[in-house]
Chains A and B, each alone.
Chain A
């Protein structure tokens, strides 16, 4: 399946691409567009204005980032994914809804990467293992009930 998002991938889109490939569609192909209107007709868009798989604000004013929206839409209830969602949310929105001390660091890593790597496919190749690691870390932490070694 083809998936489309905006060019110049940052934390939310990188995390979503990882999530899609690992949990929804192992054969996912990603295309990057400058304008949401240029989304190919056969592609599912994400993290773009005016579409469903994107940011959403609740009636109480709390916002979800796209990563959280995808988890909700696809009924992904894995607590480890929701832990990653908190980190991605804070790195992306920085609204202090969650306590995620990893977020400022991850934000800087991704912003720095986008300065030396302008090829979005390459950014996904590089960040994929990063999120694999983050998932494994928090999976073990959840099982142990403490920080894994």
Chain B
């Protein structure tokens, strides 16, 4: 969704949840984290607006209301492109950290035995998929992380087993 000029439209969730019980607060916070929201203030989070992000925040708003809190959804445009860049950069930094962690784990597993390498590779591939889904401003570290995980799964010698017919070859 794009608005006037080069500045995008954002969907914002403004909410307040009672301090107790703490379970709904924690559940909501985990869900927001999973979506990769930008936290603008206490009880105010934002995502670039599209059909999916809008719907996801709307369901969380409903959940907050069901848990006895207040929530409202707003569509908003940052008033300057500078402001938008600042928020986007902060979101990209958060994803960068996650990609760097995946890359480090992939490198650490590179010398592990084949089975462990494959297990780690598969786990990191799933983790990468989760990170990519909440990555709205992909940093270059994404490609590095993807390459590191791919290398982990590609170089698996189990993929090229010693063939019995080759072994008896004179």
- Which residues does A use to contact B, with CB under 8 Å? 8, 10, 49-50, 54-57, 59-61, 63, 94-95, 104, 111, 114
Contacts and interface: CB of A to CB of B under 8 A. Distances in A.
Contacts of B31: 95
A49 B52 CA distance: 15
B133 interface: yes
Contacts of A111: 52
Interface in B63-80: 63, 66-67
A9 to B, nearest CB: 10
B52 A61 contact: no
Interface residues of B, number: 18
B51 A50 contact: no
A10 B55 contact: yes
A8 B50 CA distance: 12
A61 to B, nearest CB: 4
B23 interface: yes
A10 B51 contact: yes
Contacts, number: 32
Given A61-B23, A63-B63, A49 B58 contact: yes
Interface of B: 23-24, 26-27, 31, 34, 51-52, 55, 58-59, 61-63, 66-67, 129, 133
B133 A94 contact: yes
B62 A8 contact: no
Contact of A49 (B61, B67, B133): B61
Contacts of A8: 51
B51 A49 contact: no
A121 to B, nearest CB: 18
Nearest to A12: B55
A54 B58 CA distance: 12
A50 B133 contact: no
A33 B58 CA distance: 16
B37 to A, nearest CB: 15
A56 B66 CA distance: 9
Contact of B66 (A57, A95, A104): A57
Contacts of B26: 61
Contacts of A104: 129
Given A8-B51, A61-B23, 13 more contacts: A10-B51, A10-B52, A49-B58, A49-B61, A49-B62, A54-B62, A55-B59, A57-B66, A57-B67, A59-B23, A63-B63, A95-B34, A104-B129
A61 B55 contact: no
Nearest to A56: B66
Contacts of B51: 8, 10, 114
A55 B24 CA distance: 15
The 6 A-B pairs of least Cβ separation, nearest first, read: A61-B27, A49-B62, A57-B63, A55-B59, A8-B51, A49-B58
A61 B58 contact: no
